[in-house]
A and B are shown apart, each in its own frame.
Chain A
Amino acid sequence: MADLSVNFAGIRAPNPFWLASAPPTNSGAQIHRAFEYGWGGAVWKTIGAPVLNISNRYGGLTLGGQRLLAINNVELISDRPLEVNLREIAEIKRLWPDRALIVSAMVDADPAAWREIVMQIEDTGADGIELNYGCPQGMSERGMGAAVGQVPEMCQLNTYWVTSVTRLPVIVKLTPNVTRITDPAHAALAGGAHALSLINTINSVMKVDLDTLLVTPSIGGQATHGGYAGPAVKPIALHMLSELMCDPTVRKSGVPICGMGGIQTWRDAAEFLLLGASALQVCTAAMHYGYRIVEDFIDGLSNWMDDKGFASIPEVTGRSLPQMSSFGGLDLGYQAVARIDPDKCIRCDLCYVACNDTAHQCIDLYSPEGVRVNPGFDIRDGGKHVADGRPRPVIREPDCVGCALCANVCPVDGCIEMVSVPSGRPSVTWDELTATRPAVTQEWGAMEAYREEAGIEIH
């Protein structure tokens, strides 16, 4: 059995699955229940300045009948009195000494205000502090949340105010609502952060109701942007995570990163770990299905690690990172082509139409007799047997550019595979090529000359 325990910037937990600071961590009673279900840790719903929450708060994204692919919220931080939260935090920590209990906080950009709350948090016995520089609505207008996270100088200064007064590990939670995620990350490190976490929610307008024409969520007929989270944001979160993990400054600092944004199953979790996360946080999936989902998170991850021969979380962390590169570092000589497994193919012809309409027109249809045919049918024909005479798609490999569109549209797992084939082209990266032949980036003539020389045909 793999060891799932983690030591994240000194914060220990029996497993890497922590509830993110959000509605699932709003009260002591909730977190108590969550810990009973097996969550390894929790980041308390952000505490700080007095706020009032409004009704209603959430918009949901439905796609193809699948509900809550993302949630969009116009919620603020905890609206429960500070004292109540602090008392409950202390109580939970006392009851659950082995779990990670981290307190998320946000106050005015004022060293005294930060100092005050840090002291109160320390008194609870919590394991760490997470600085919420991400709240994209409501708080940012008051100079907190994203208003801090989006301005590196503010981010550094606020972080410093905290790290200089506390003995607890300080995690800076980054907002994705920036052009370059490394800027606030550097600022946080400069401010003394012991760890980073990301992503907070993304600015979004969820939808417009076609019956009422109201923007959703509609708050008494008015609407505003809200924070976007859930399965749909995972690729963005993975990107930002890998950006940080590949960034020299972040690497050199050695701070761990807690990954979140769209984790819905243990599989998503494993991806975050492979791209460098050392611990994980989950919000929307718990809001969708309840705390119980953690059971499969733990079980699934553990079984997968056993299958792969990973004994501990640090062995998984960052395993896939070495593959991350920039466009300029990719091999221009590499060639893949799509290959269809005729036995798996169910003849939906989606690959055909995709390649023919929007890729490189290199899939042909062949009748069972081996004759190349066009789509279409005899209108006098009908009946179940037409399935037997249905043509099958065949890829004309020399014309396939290997874009992988077909493999992405094919509804059958493993039916179309992208296989690498010898290209006969020199193995060279764009960076290498342009270093030796700067002209190819400047003139089409030079580019064509190179292509001819390298035997690259474009159709």
Chain B
Amino acid sequence: MERSSPVVPESEVYHFQEALPPLTAHEATAEANRCLYCYDAPCMQACPTHIDIPTFIRKISTGNLRGSGRVILEANFLGATCARVCPVQELCEGACVLGKDHEPIQIGRLQRYATDHIFDRGLQVFTPSPPTGRSVAVVGSGPAGISASAELAKLGHQVTLFEKRELGGGLSTYGIIGLREPVEVSLREVEAVQNLGVEVRTGVELTDREGLDVLLSQYDAVFLALGLGAVPALGVPGEEAVLDGLAVIEASKVEPWRLKVGPLALGQRVVVIGAGNTAIDAATVGRRHGAEVEIVYRRTENEMTAYRHEYEFALHEGVGFTFLTQPIGVEVEGGRVIGLRCVRMGLGHPDASGRPRPEPVPGSEFVIPCDTVIAAIGQEKPALAVDLGLALEKGYICVDDGLQTSEPRVYAGGDCIRVRGSASTVMAVQDGKLAAASIHAMLGAAPAAAD
């Protein structure tokens, strides 16, 4: 893959370095020795990719770091990304038995320690099986796409990974703030999949049904890992002046100078709309950029979709929160944002999601003075799904237990099928594994397209 222009100028790097330092060898050994090596361990069950956590930690404690990294990557090819971005409090660490009356093991940081050992040394832990003569097209190089590609390549299938953007890695590259995961980590995973013989073709977009048919004629199977779309419109006057939270985060990672000049330039008083994890990330970028940042959310702290630890992290970063407040318009003067017009909200009866429905308080309008408004209210569903003519469920691609779509030989996974539960990297990785297993089973049954 071509790595285009170097991404982060030296002087900007410090703002966005990983928040947590790597564990030292001593810390890692001490922490690993604290693990009980539970049998049939709950941490391992709680991990959506079911990494054999006790085993990889045990290997750290015995100084077998290569073995440890391999255990992780066998179950989760994106173990290095997941070590950094997983909401571990909700997953493995949340289930650790030591959490019952003490501190759980720092599984995420140990996982990072072991996978860094592999990547920092450029170790090759997998070798592809002999070629099967079958080929698979994977569309989208985010966690789901890379995970599926890696599993299929390990099984000996010829995989081509198509990515519309310039760099591979999906949201790991473009969407996860550098405080959590530097771009290099994500790009190394793209490289790792290439080392398994996967051909990564960036700058290639699947745009319509015709394109899918072409892929189906050239490949034995297709895996769609399209992710989601841009931040949806707010539907308020002055909308044109609102910045897209994802674009802001993306710039902070790959071209930080864009936050200083041009259309994405951030002012000194930033208001972020939304209270999910993306809003927290965008607000954090604003803070690290040196701005005063306020998150505006129409419900209360209790209904926020951001994880508790994310909320606390934002508070720690100095992000302000204004709850029970709904934006109703952006005040623009001379082409510049001067404020966000809002209305106060009260909590009414529970809505379909079971959370109390926010209702505007009449006559409570007010303006929050600011020079930048960022919207981070989620992502649109994949528009392409409709054009491909696949069955949908609530706007997401509909799949069966084996992740097959309504179309034979076409599979899908990752955020683009996430009808239930919140989207996360580790679930996308697991989808990639499950889809690869189904595709492999299907390819075994079908005669090869070309002998």
Contacts and interface: CB of A to CB of B under 8 A. Distances in A.
Interface of A: 64-65, 346-350, 352-353, 375-377, 379, 381-387, 390, 411
A348 B90 contact: no
Nearest to A377: B45
A376 B101 contact: no
Contact of B39 (A346, A349, A384): A349
A376 B44 CA distance: 10
Given A386-B45, A386-B95, A64 B33 contact: yes
Contacts of B91: 382-384
A65 B97 CA distance: 21
A353 B54 CA distance: 14
A15 to B, nearest CB: 34
B442 interface: no
A350 B46 contact: no
A350 B39 contact: yes
Nearest to A348: B38
Nearest to B48: A382
B101 A65 contact: no
B46 A382 contact: yes
Chain A CB count within 10 A is highest, among B36, B40, B61, B94, for B40
Interface in B1-59: 29-30, 33, 36-42, 45-48, 50
A349 B40 contact: yes
A390 B42 contact: yes
Contacts of A411: 36
Contacts of B30: 65
The 7 A-B pairs of least Cβ separation, nearest first, read A384-B94, A382-B48, A353-B39, A349-B39, A375-B40, A65-B33, A346-B97
Contacts of B430: 382
Interface string B96-108: 0111110000000
A411 B94 CA distance: 19
A346 B94 CA distance: 13
Nearest to A411: B36
Contacts of A390: 42
Given A65-B29, A65-B30, A348 B36 contact: yes
Nearest to A393: B39
B406 interface: no
Nearest to B37: A350
A346 B48 contact: no
B89 interface: yes
A381 B101 contact: no
Interface of B: 29-30, 33, 36-42, 45-48, 50, 61, 89-91, 94-95, 97-101, 427, 430
B101 to A, nearest CB: 7
Contacts of A383: 46, 48, 90-91, 94-95
A64 B39 contact: no
Contacts of A348: 36, 38-39, 41, 97
A142 to B, nearest CB: 40
A350 B94 contact: no
Contacts of B47: 382
B40 A384 contact: no
Chain B CB count within 10 A is highest, among A353, A386, A390, for A386
B433 to A, nearest CB: 10
A379 B50 contact: yes
Contact of A381 (B29, B45, B97): B45
A347 B427 CA distance: 26
Given A346-B97, A348-B39, A385-B95, 10 more contacts: A349-B39, A350-B36, A350-B37, A375-B39, A376-B40, A382-B47, A383-B48, A383-B90, A384-B90, A386-B42
B89 A384 contact: yes
Contacts of B94: 383-384, 387
B407 to A, nearest CB: 23
Contacts of B36: 348, 350, 411
A377 B430 CA distance: 16
A387 B36 CA distance: 15
Nearest to B46: A386
Nearest to A376: B40
A352 B39 contact: yes
Contacts of B42: 347, 386-387, 390
A352 to B, nearest CB: 6
B101 A346 contact: yes
Contact of A347 (B46, B61, B97): B97
A280 B416 CA distance: 72
A386 B97 CA distance: 11
A64 to B, nearest CB: 5
Contacts of B33: 64-65
B89 to A, nearest CB: 7
A1 B294 CA distance: 63
Nearest to A66: B33
A85 B371 CA distance: 83
Contacts of B101: 346
A364 to B, nearest CB: 13
A350 to B, nearest CB: 6
Contacts of A375: 39-40
Chain A CB count within 10 A is highest, among B33, B37, B98, B100, for B100
A64 B97 contact: no
A411 B38 CA distance: 10
Contacts of A347: 38, 42, 97
A425 B30 CA distance: 48
Contact of B95 (A349, A352, A384): A384
B38 A349 contact: yes
Contacts of B37: 350
Contacts of A352: 39-40
B34 to A, nearest CB: 9
Contacts of A386: 42, 45-46, 95
A384 B89 CA distance: 8
B417 to A, nearest CB: 14
A35 B29 CA distance: 37
A387 B46 contact: yes
A347 B97 CA distance: 7
Nearest to B50: A379
A352 B61 CA distance: 23
A24 B330 CA distance: 77
Nearest to B32: A65
B244 to A, nearest CB: 30
Nearest to B99: A387
A423 to B, nearest CB: 30
A187 B97 CA distance: 55
Contacts of A384: 46, 89-91, 94-95
B7 to A, nearest CB: 33
A350 B42 CA distance: 12
B95 A387 contact: yes
B428 to A, nearest CB: 13
A64 B61 contact: yes
21 contacts: A346-B98, A346-B100, A347-B38, A348-B39, A348-B41, A350-B36, A350-B39, A352-B40, A353-B39, A375-B39, A377-B50, A382-B46, A382-B50, A383-B46, A383-B90, A384-B94, A385-B95, A386-B42, A387-B42, A387-B94, A390-B42
Chain B CB count within 10 A is highest, among A64, A348, A353, for A348
A352 B39 CA distance: 8
Nearest to A65: B33
A377 B39 CA distance: 12
A65 B60 CA distance: 11
Nearest to A410: B36
Contacts of A346: 97-98, 100-101
Contacts of A65: 29-30, 33, 61
Nearest to B44: A377
A420 to B, nearest CB: 28
A54 to B, nearest CB: 30
Contacts of B45: 377, 381-382, 386
Contacts of A349: 38-41
